[in-house]
Structure 1
Amino acid sequence: MTVTPGISINDGNLVVHGKTILTGIPDNIVLTPGSGVGLVAGAFIGATASDCKSLHVFPIGVLEGLRFMCCFRFKLWWMTQRMGTCGKDVPLETQFMLVESKEEDDPNAPTIYTVFLPLLEGQFRAVLQGNDKNELEICLESGDNTVETNRGLYLVYMHAGTNPFEVINQAVKALEKHMQTFLHREKKKLPSFLDWFGWCTWDAFYTDVTAEGVKEGLKSLSEGGTPPRFLIIDDGWQQIESKPKESDCVVQEGAQFASRLTGIKENAKFKKNDQNNEQISGLKHVVDEAKQHHNVKNVYVWHALAGYWGGVKPAAAGMEHYDTALAYPVQSPGVMGNQPDIVMDSLAVHGLGLVHPKKVFNFYNELHAYLASCGVDGVKVDVQNIIETLGAGHGGRVSLTRSYVQALEASISRNFPDNGCIACMCHNTDGIYSTKQTAVVRASDDFYPRDPASHTIHISSVAYNTLFLGEFMQPDWDMFHSLHPAADYHAAARAVGGCAIYVRPTVDCLFADPARDGISLLKIWNVNKCSGVVGVFNCQGAGWCKVTKKTRIHDASPGTLTGSVCANDVDSIAQVAGADWNGESVVYAHRSGELVRLPKGASVPVTLKVLEYELFHFCPVKEISNTISFAPIGLLDMFNSSGAVEKFEVQMTSNEKLQFFDGEVSSELTTSLSNNRNPTAAISLKVRGCGRFGAYSSQHPLKCCVDNADTHFNYDSATGLVTLTLPVPSEEMYRWHVEIQV
């Protein structure tokens, strides 16, 4: 049965571009072509059953001998990565899977990458999992025992091609057209806070945050030379029940998870009296002071999707019109089979105050309107996946989640015109495939300052989760500590993760396991406007353990690892370089400070101990003439050095024949001859920031100017490195005009 030119079922095997992916396809599995969504490269997997149920498990074929990478929910809130080669390696709650198939007999044949995306269909949600017979299975559930079905035709979407990043991008865009329940990231408005350095109050105060604490924190950061322009007032500002801590109520970092919201305004820690001793909005005062005295541009505050961890208190004074009722969470078998969660342990006993889905827009709108009146610019909406556990009696998990997400986005649109929303604890497809507006998503589990096992995992999880999440929203890192043994490691990853697109593993890392295999370095790539960057990290030694069902250290002393990097590790380097690029680049290594010119296809080695990193900036070389070539690098002392260069133009100024030299010439003579010639070209750069600026030039420049004023520069003839100093600009976001004559 041929379904598309590339995907078919032949003799009981699922074949993609001539390569067998699954064998032993059961008779109840149905393939539907994806041509209806405008792309012939895809197909949908469906299944039928003999009886109606609210939960089905459909084996869809045997997976053996093919490398794959998947993102699965190791706990209710968050995904992480897992690599494997057969069906039994596929974890419960797998929401994204990429399979590699090669032609063993022909090393020159292209590698085919096939992505599997389990979907939402009607009131049901599908995920992938494996079993001990190496079968890949679809787990289909509604989350409501009264919502049943005996079939689904569009449960998993498959898409295939030779470039894995393009395959994923095309697959999600095809689904956007097919499902019409979400929008791709490229169609969403990115909030402006993404351009600014920020501070979140959580790790400083946990739930003990106060108005005075926020004020002192901003003052301390400013005095330390790092004034934040973005502020998140995290959990601890809201009015919640003041009840004695119960022995069976779990408390972690100050959060009492069964506590419920009792009002939409700030609590007593943020209240303030005016000159007449009358109470005024303390939150407004905090926001005004942050913006007026500390030049903070955006202030966000935290709230849970259900209001608070334990929801909204039923019939709380002034909140009766939300029709809140106690509901008791029921987790799906897949989540229960992975990591238990202390939040759910609390709520299973005490229940959650669930605002009626028909009233939840009113709740959000009144909350957000009040926050906006205080000058708040947006919200960090946390604990989102709790809603999937409360679908009973509301049409199931998909229906309830979609009601909440649509109400939230409508309120954000009305009250926060900059699309001010960060989605957090939200890695379920119920929500991901229901977001038409939310543009920023926390990409991994928390930064845990006191958990040594967490730091390498934090970096690798963001890289692999982003392959999937980055198609829907801009991935956002958790906060981290600048005074911490792993501070540089975390800072470097965040610096290269916040560029023009978003950080992703290099092709040669897609199916390696840089957290567990003991031999692989993690390499992640990104692009700036005029260059590419590859971050290399030794992440070995820790991972999520399916036996102990928690994150743990499995190798207390992982070894030093060696690998290599090249320009083509940046998948889109050719597009950045332009049509006339000959493949040559210079590479600047941030930590070592070394600059090397690389011929096309050449690589440089890198050796790292655990929790070490290096950032390589690949800057395409521009051939200006037969003897002059040039490449801008950027601010040499910044992690994301090449992010400083925003524009690069070359204007030829001379048609004179250039001098050639036979044999070796001393660098002094070369410099003398170079300085006596007429300029061949003027290189014009737009650069932001301040500090040591560097560029590569094959010849000694004649002159350097910053904003039309001559400036001193140094030239290292051994490496071709030109350096000059950019002063601190008087305006924020200022772009210097740097001109270099060669």
Structure 2
Amino acid sequence: DGHFMICAESGSTKVKALSFNAIAYVHLSDNPYNVMKEAYSAIRVHLNTFRLLEEKALPNIVDKFGWCTWDAFYLSVDPIGIYHGLDDFSKAGIEPRFVIIDDGWQSISLDGCDPKENAKNLILGGEQMSGRLNRLNEGDKFKKYESGLLLNPNSPPFNAKRIKDLLLKGNQHKLLRNQRDEALLSKSPDLAEIDSNIKKVKGEIDELFGGEQSNKVSKSECGSLNGMKAFTRDLRTKFKGLDDVYVWHALVGAWGGVRPETTHLKSKIVPCKLSPGLDGTMLDLAVVQIVKGAIALVHPDQATDFYDSMHSN
């Protein structure tokens, strides 16, 4: 009838309203390449609550070359791989000014497993999304690192082929898990065979990780520091041009939050329900996994303590 309806969603059942001072802005332009810039310029005048990109100073990091570990290692990231990755850049004459240690460095556990033990031998994204923090510092493969380990002449070697094999096996394992989900839905008679193949591939993955595990616990001949602090110090000692080392983490700690009764923080597993708008417009693996496994949220009263604990180790 010549009308249109706007549906506004806060994303929370506890944040509700019946009226809004401003909810939408419609802008017309004869140039599709300029329409967004023109629209934001107009909104900037009306609201005066933000600045346009051209009004802001670029952060220093924009002028630095950096490296993120995700596409090289995914969840199998470890100190040996990071060190040799940076070393390869350096030998090629392109030394990163910063490195981002992406997902895979934290201490997480999976529901149904011993809450005190790290989830082991994870490779591809998706496997970790139901995991919850069980410590507020690094996972075992980084915690076991000893100062000077990679700086001495007898440092553990890096096996690039093993990483490639792990990623291939991880992808194979992921495809088999997807097949299993489909088989369960369709009540396929192939379920037993798929389960057998999953067990076989998982055993091969564990064997590949086992061969690398002996390197991770090698003893250093110098220094008393260990863990992420020792590792990042060694990186700065070796790579003089490295200004910053960043680590990834989710806003709620890990994808699945903080596991109850594993830290000094009070957390509670809260079921997740997508708003109709988000459910109808977005399909994302992380969202699917979090909705499936719920999320363990730290009590808001401990938000400051949570932040400080995550950034003090």
Q: TM-score, normalised by structure 1?
A: 0.28
- The question of 1:324 aligning with 2:267 is answered yes
Cα deviations by residue, 1:657-700 (Å, 9 ceiling, x for unpaired): xxxxxxxxxxxxxxxxxxxxxxxxxxxxxxxxxxxxxxxxxxxx
Q: Where in structure 2 are the equivalents of 1:67-86 lying within 5 Å?
A: none
Q: Where in structure 2 are the equivalents of 1:331-730 lying within 5 Å?
A: 331-370=274-313
Amino acid at match of 2:102: D
- CA pair 324-229 structure 1, distance change in 2 beyond 3 A: same
Segments of 5+ residues of structure 1 without an aligned counterpart are: 1-23, 27-58, 60-136, 371-742
Amino acid at match of 2:232: V
Does 1 or 2 have the higher relative contact order (CA < 8 Å, sep 6+)? 2
Name the SS of the counterpart of 2:19 in structure 1: strand
Q: Displacement of 1:347 after TM fit?
A: 2.2
**C-alpha separation in 1, matches of 2:92 and 2:112:** 39
- CA pair 161-311 structure 1, distance change in 2 beyond 3 A: same
Segments of 5+ residues of structure 2 without an aligned counterpart are: 114-121, 148-219
Cα deviations by residue, 1:400-436 (Å, 9 ceiling, x for unpaired): xxxxxxxxxxxxxxxxxxxxxxxxxxxxxxxxxxxxx
**C-alpha separation in 2, matches of 1:279 and 1:292:** 16
Name the SS of the counterpart of 1:141 in structure 2: coil
Amino acid at match of 1:349: K
Q: Displacement of 1:232 after TM fit?
A: 0.9
**C-alpha separation in 2, matches of 1:174 and 1:366:** 42
RMSD of the TM alignment (CA)? Answer: 3.2
Cα deviations by residue, 1:470-505 (Å, 9 ceiling, x for unpaired): xxxxxxxxxxxxxxxxxxxxxxxxxxxxxxxxxxxx
* Contact kept? 2:69, 2:102, Cα under 8 Å: yes
1:280 to 225, 250, 268: 225
* 1:312 corresponds to: 258
Name the SS of the counterpart of 2:26 in structure 1: strand
- The question of 1:253 aligning with 2:121 is answered no
* 1:237 corresponds to: 105
Amino acid at match of 1:155: I
- CA pair 257-190 structure 1, distance change in 2 beyond 3 A: same
- The question of 1:269 aligning with 2:141 is answered yes
* 1:103 corresponds to: none
- CA pair 342-181 structure 1, distance change in 2 beyond 3 A: same
Q: Displacement of 1:254 after TM fit?
A: 6.4
**C-alpha separation in 2, matches of 1:330 and 1:354:** 14
- CA pair 299-190 structure 1, distance change in 2 beyond 3 A: farther
Q: Displacement of 1:314 after TM fit?
A: 2.3
Name the SS of the counterpart of 1:344 in structure 2: helix
**C-alpha separation in 1, matches of 2:9 and 2:146:** 52
- CA pair 257-169 structure 1, distance change in 2 beyond 3 A: same
1:223 to 91, 107, 114: 91
Q: What is the total number of aligned residue pairs between the two structures?
A: 231
* Contact kept? 1:239, 1:261, Cα under 8 Å: yes
**C-alpha separation in 1, matches of 2:278 and 2:110:** 31
**C-alpha separation in 2, matches of 1:208 and 1:199:** 16
Q: Displacement of 1:215 after TM fit?
A: 0.7
2:25 to 157, 162, 176: 157
* Contact kept? 1:208, 1:254, Cα under 8 Å: no
Name the SS of the counterpart of 2:288 in structure 1: helix
- CA pair 297-340 structure 1, distance change in 2 beyond 3 A: same
Q: Displacement of 1:317 after TM fit?
A: 2.4
* Contact kept? 1:197, 1:228, Cα under 8 Å: yes
Q: Which structure: larger Rg?
A: 1
Cα deviations by residue, 1:105-151 (Å, 9 ceiling, x for unpaired): xxxxxxxxxxxxxxxxxxxxxxxxxxxxxxxx422123344544443
**C-alpha separation in 2, matches of 1:225 and 1:212:** 20
Q: Displacement of 1:196 after TM fit?
A: 2.2
**C-alpha separation in 2, matches of 1:146 and 1:282:** 41
**C-alpha separation in 1, matches of 2:305 and 2:45:** 30
Q: Displacement of 1:327 after TM fit?
A: 1.5
**C-alpha separation in 2, matches of 1:191 and 1:300:** 16
Q: Which has the higher strand share?
A: 1
* Contact kept? 2:126, 2:289, Cα under 8 Å: no
* 1:298 corresponds to: 244
**C-alpha separation in 1, matches of 2:75 and 2:82:** 12
* 1:202 corresponds to: 70
- CA pair 348-243 structure 1, distance change in 2 beyond 3 A: closer
**C-alpha separation in 2, matches of 1:163 and 1:361:** 47
* Contact kept? 2:74, 2:123, Cα under 8 Å: no
**C-alpha separation in 2, matches of 1:141 and 1:156:** 13
Amino acid at match of 1:258: S
Q: TM-score, normalised by structure 2?
A: 0.62
**C-alpha separation in 2, matches of 1:177 and 1:307:** 37
Amino acid at match of 2:311: H
Q: Displacement of 1:252 after TM fit?
A: 4.2
- CA pair 327-290 structure 1, distance change in 2 beyond 3 A: same
- CA pair 244-192 structure 1, distance change in 2 beyond 3 A: farther
- CA pair 360-180 structure 1, distance change in 2 beyond 3 A: farther
Q: Displacement of 1:335 after TM fit?
A: 2.6
* Contact kept? 2:146, 2:230, Cα under 8 Å: no
- CA pair 208-254 structure 1, distance change in 2 beyond 3 A: farther
- CA pair 189-330 structure 1, distance change in 2 beyond 3 A: farther
**C-alpha separation in 2, matches of 1:283 and 1:351:** 29
Cα deviations by residue, 1:153-200 (Å, 9 ceiling, x for unpaired): 421112345565655334324434544654433454533222122221
**C-alpha separation in 2, matches of 1:211 and 1:355:** 29
* Contact kept? 1:251, 1:257, Cα under 8 Å: no
Q: Displacement of 1:229 after TM fit?
A: 2.1
Cα deviations by residue, 1:617-650 (Å, 9 ceiling, x for unpaired): xxxxxxxxxxxxxxxxxxxxxxxxxxxxxxxxxx
- CA pair 301-202 structure 1, distance change in 2 beyond 3 A: same
Q: Displacement of 1:297 after TM fit?
A: 2.2
* Contact kept? 1:313, 1:324, Cα under 8 Å: yes
* 1:185 corresponds to: 53
Amino acid at match of 2:108: I
Identity %: 36
